[in-house]
């Protein structure tokens, strides 16, 4: 997956946003208020090649292939479960007493 910055006239930006199915994460306007650049998320890197023309400039901001899989950064063990159970037992003990 790629996050790319697309600089183009309105039609080019429109094409980029259409390809990304609206997945926009950034938007830039020129001094006249007209859109000039947009950051979009592409699930398929092939879209980058599809977009690039002489009117459309594409810059890759983020390529998931260059980063470790963030799923490795998600906790696999419930770090709070043990403490929760302990407090629940303690509470039950007090109630029964």
Partner 1 sequence: MLYQSVEETNTLLELLPLQFPAFCERIELPNLTAEGRHSFALKIRVGPEENRPAVLFLGNVHAEEWGSTDILMSLAQELLGAAGPQNPLHFGNFTLASSAVADMLQKVEIFIFPIVNPDGKAFSQAGDRFWRKNRRPAADPEEIGVDVNRNFDWLWDLSRVFDPLVLGDPATPEGVGLLVASEFPINVTYHGPAPFSEPESRNVRHLLDENPRIRFLVDVHGYAGQIMHPWGDDDPQTTDRFQRFDNPLFDGRRGIIGDTAYGEFSTAGDLARHRQIVHTMGSAVTAALGAVYEEGPISTTLYLMCADTADYAYSRHRTDRQLPKIDGFLLEWGKPDDGFQPDFPPRMEQIIAEVSAALTALLTIAKDQPFIEKSPDPALFGRVAVGETRAVPITIKNASARPVRISNMHVDGPGYHVSPALDTRLSPGESVAVTVVLAPQVVGPARGALLFEARFEELVLGRGLVLGSTADVVEVELQGGNCLALVSECLAPTFPPQGPAACATIRATCALLIALMKLFGGGRFACAIAKLQFRIDHCAEGNGDPCIPLVPFPRLPNPGIRPRPRP
Which positions touch partner 1 (CB under 8 A)? 1, 3, 10, 13-14, 17-18, 20-27, 29, 32-33, 35, 38-39, 41, 43, 61-62, 64, 67-71, 73-76, 78-81, 83-84, 87-88, 91
Long-range contacts of 72-77 (CB under 8 A, 24+ apart): none
49 vs 68 by CB, closer to partner 1: 68
CA–CA distance, 37 with 84 (Å, rounded to integer): 49
CA–CA distance, 14 with 30 (Å, rounded to integer): 16
38 vs 58 by CB, closer to partner 1: 38
Any bridge partners for residue 38, and if so which?
Answer: 6, 27
CA–CA distance, 63 with 65 (Å, rounded to integer): 5
CB of 54 to partner 1, least distance (A): 21
9 vs 52 by CB, closer to partner 1: 9
Give the dihedral of Cα atoms 13, 16, 20, 21; nearest 10 deg: 60
CB of 49 to partner 1, least distance (A): 19
CB of 77 to partner 1, least distance (A): 8
């Amino acid at each position: 997956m790629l996050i790319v910055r697309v600089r183009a006239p309105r039609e080019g930006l429109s094409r980029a946003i259409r390809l990304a199915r609206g997945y926009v994460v950034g938007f830039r306007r020129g001094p006249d208020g007209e859109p000039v650049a947009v950051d979009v998320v592409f699930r398929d890197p092939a879209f980058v090649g599809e977009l690039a023309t002489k009117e459309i400039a594409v810059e890759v901001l983020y390529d998931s292939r260059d980063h470790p899989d963030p799923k490795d950064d998600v906790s696999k063990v419930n770090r709070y479960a043990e403490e929760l159970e302990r407090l629940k037992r303690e509470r039950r003990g007090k109630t029964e007493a």
